[in-house]
Amino acid sequence: MTVRVAVVGYGVMGRYHAMNYAALPAADLVAVVDPDPDKRLSAQLELGVEAYPTVAALLAARPVDAASVAAPTSLHYALAKQLLLAGVHVLVEKPVATDVDQARELAELSRGLGLVLQVGHITRFYRTVAKLREEVDTPYLIEARRLVPSTRVKDVGVILDLMIHDIDIVLGLVRGEPVAVAAAGRCLNGSPHEDVAAAQVTFADGCIVRLLASRVAPDAERSLLVAERDRTVRIDFAKEPYAELVVYRDPQGASSAGHVQLDRHVIHEENPLKKELEHFIARQSGEAAPIGTLADDLRSLTLASRLLAELRAASPVAV
């Protein structure tokens, strides 16, 4: 039995969601929702599906079992709540909401209704991130850089749009809770939201995490460094569809002084979005357990919100 799926928002990410659903045997893509008539026409021509201007119009016209919410971040809470209350399983692009209390409300609502609410933290489906978790035990320093030459997202800044990816990865690696945070940012070209942000987080176990995100970079860069006493792991995510993971180990023994053992892995990231959507569908029938829980989602959003509050308190500089 296939799952009747709709995609809410037919921008860049929504189109990716729709095209992947259309190729999944377990999914029946039945509709797209977007307020823009040109995007609705594009969905009809490209995928041969019905298109509606609002979620209300969709729900009045036909039944759906599940939906991806790929609309602007500021709309996630209202759209996800509307769909959950209609009995629809929801995958919502990260972050689930711009406010932690709203995110907590959605989590409680989904649990109460017995519905799947999955947040689109796509890096959880990267083979490279799984390999990283195998390699890392007790990091004392993590540095993450996520820079892109794109200002496509307008309604939130880079902390909620980009940095939250790395926050989610970090929270899967570091034990304990953050005890101190600092953040600074810049608003460029008249934007009301930060286009560049730098943050430092110190955890209870002493691990220091440094995060940098920008959407005004000349070239894309997505890298991660994780340092432990006896090894350092570097990842370059920016060579899609491949990622490079290099492990530098400190060999034991006096004869090895000054030498480093190096292991390089080139990993093919074969359509992690497809894996994410397949997982979402499998969860609805109980065939798959969550990869990352709603508690994990709330923890990532809580730290991102804390960094955003620090940045605002420091009055991000407009240029």
pLDDT at 106 over 80: yes
Domain identity same for 153 and 47: no
Residue-wise pLDDT for 174-195, tens only, equals 988 999 999 999 998 788 999 9
Domain identity same for 167 and 307: yes
Domain identity same for 86 and 192: no
| Number of folded domains that form the chain | 2
Domain identity same for 159 and 261: yes
Local confidence band at 257 (pLDDT 50, 70, 90 cut-offs): low
Domain identity same for 135 and 247: yes
SS3 of residue 27 by DSSP: strand
Given 66, 99, 120, the domain boundary residue is 120
User: Is residue 40 one of the residues assigned to a domain?
Assistant: yes
Q: For residues 297 and 121, is the Cβ–Cβ distance under 8 A?
A: yes
User: Is residue 291 one of the residues assigned to a domain?
Assistant: no
Residue-wise pLDDT for 24-76, tens only, equals 999 999 999 999 999 999 999 999 999 999 999 999 999 999 999 999 999 99
pLDDT at 221 over 50: yes
Q: For residues 106 and 98, is the Cβ–Cβ distance under 8 A?
A: no
User: Is residue 280 one of the residues assigned to a domain?
Assistant: no
Domain identity same for 227 and 109: no
Q: Which amino acid is at 282?
A: A
Given 120, 151, 169, the domain boundary residue is 120
pLDDT at 316 over 70: no
User: Is residue 106 one of the residues assigned to a domain?
Assistant: yes
Report pTM: 0.92
Given 90, 120, 150, the domain boundary residue is 120
Residue-wise pLDDT for 109-138, tens only, equals 999 999 999 999 999 999 999 999 998 999
Side-chain-side CA neighbours of 135 within 13 Å: the count stands at: 25
Domain identity same for 165 and 310: yes
Residue-wise pLDDT for 260-313, tens only, equals 888 999 999 999 999 999 999 999 999 999 998 999 999 999 999 999 999 988
Domain of 251, in residue numbers: 124-273+302-318
Domain identity same for 29 and 94: yes
Domain identity same for 138 and 265: yes
- Helix then strand then coil, in percent of the chain rounded to 5, is 40, 30, 35
User: Is residue 135 one of the residues assigned to a domain?
Assistant: yes
Domain identity same for 157 and 306: yes
User: Is residue 198 one of the residues assigned to a domain?
Assistant: yes
Mean pLDDT within 234-259: 80
Helix axes 164-171, 294-313, angle to 10 degrees: 130
CATH number of the domain where residue 231 is located: 3.30.360.10
Pair of tokens at residue 296? 């994990």
SS3 of residue 247 by DSSP: strand
CATH number of the domain where residue 53 is located: 3.40.50.720
User: Is residue 294 one of the residues assigned to a domain?
Assistant: no
User: Is residue 218 one of the residues assigned to a domain?
Assistant: yes
pLDDT (0 to 100) of residue 154: 83
Q: Which amino acid is at 246?
A: V
Domain identity same for 141 and 158: yes
The Cα–Cα gap between 294 and 79 comes to 18
**β-bridge pairing 178-187 and 196-203:** antiparallel
For residue 174, the Cα-to-chain-centroid distance in whole angstroms is 18
Domain identity same for 212 and 93: no
